[in-house]
Structures are given as structure tokens and as C-alpha cells.
Amino acid sequence: MTDDWRQAKRPVSAVLAGPYGHPFHPILVTVPIGAWLASVVFDIGSHLVDDPGFLARGAQWLIAIGVLGALAAATVGFLDLFAIPTGTPAFRIGLVHMSLNLAVTVAFALDFWWRAAGTDPDAAVAGGPLALSLAAVVVLAVSGYLGGKLAYHYGVRVADERTQATGFRR
């Protein structure tokens, strides 16, 4: 095992980023991903029900929860990025992953502001905010793929194979 590979598996700070082999970032990303996907479902649903304002307001709350959750996930993810040696393919993918996630977070923050600034609270979600949410979710899916590649292909912050093998001994 190379020193670069070992470095990418160890946290910069176990207290802040999670202990060896059990990073906090993957569990924290479930909050914004779930909130934003649910907000899109609520957006679409607001066009299908008799009381669209209820779902439209729910979607706006979910967007806010997602933005706050993304800030927490980004903080810990940034620490994980510091564990990856610079100049490596894993580091480059980490930078793209981070950049896409920041763009998605900004898009949803703008989406929240757009909804708050100019929409009828009792109407279905307007086409512009809905389109922005859908575009942001597509970018989020690409970024999620890259995050999965970091963990499952390159093993960033994943325990080494010797440690993993202990779970299969009888």
C-alpha cells in the first residue's frame, strides 16, 4: 500500500470528520439529497392537488433544510478532501465533486430566494423554480456518482482490505 493511499484513508481530524473507516460525510449527505429530492416531488405534486400551496410551502422548507444540511456535509467533506494527496486522480475528482456540490447548493439557495421573493404562497410552484430544481438535481446526481467513485473505486476514507477482511473471519 502506498503512502498516498494510506493518507486518503485517514481522517484529517477524527473528531470532526469521523474515525478511520467510518467518515461522517456519507451520512450527512443524505440530508440535503433527501430534502432536495423530496422538494422536487412536492413541486410536481403541487401541480396535481387541490391545495397546491401546502406542497409548495413544504418544498420551500425542504429546500432550506437541504441547504443547511449541505453546509454541514460540505464542511466535513472539505476535511476529507484534505486527506487526499494533491496531484492524484482522486484529488481531481474530489475537486470536481466539491465544485458541483457547491454549485447545486447555490442553485437551491437561489431557488429558495426566488420562491420567497415572488410567488403566490397558495399557488403551485412556478415553472422557473421547478426547472431550476430539476437542473440542480441532475447536477447533484452527477456529483453523487463522483462521490461514489471516490469511496468505492478509490477507497477514500474507506478502511483498507485487511481491516475489512476481519468482518469475514469465523
Look up residue 101 and give its amino acid.
Answer: N
pLDDT 10s digits, 88-108: 999 999 999 999 999 999 999
Stretch 74-84: mean pLDDT: 91
Q: In whole angstroms, what is the distance from residue 154 CA to residue 93 CA?
A: 10
Q: In whole angstroms, what is the distance from residue 126 CA to residue 71 CA?
A: 26
C-alpha cell at 100: 458541483
Q: Which residue, chain included where needed, has cell 437541504?
A: 66
**Type and span of the H or E element at 141:** helix 127-148
pLDDT 10s digits, 39-74: 999 999 999 999 999 999 999 999 999 999 999 999
User: Among residues of the chain, what percentage have pLDDT more than 70?
Assistant: 87
Asked if residue 18 has pLDDT above 90, the reply is no
Q: What is the pLDDT of residue 163?
A: 79
Please tell me the pTM assigned to this model. Answer: 0.88
- Say which residue, 15 or 95, is predicted with more confidence: 95
* Mean pLDDT for the chain overall: 89
pLDDT 10s digits, 114-126: 999 977 878 999 9
C-alpha cell at 56: 409548495
85 CA to centre of own chain = 22
Q: What is the pLDDT of residue 12?
A: 64
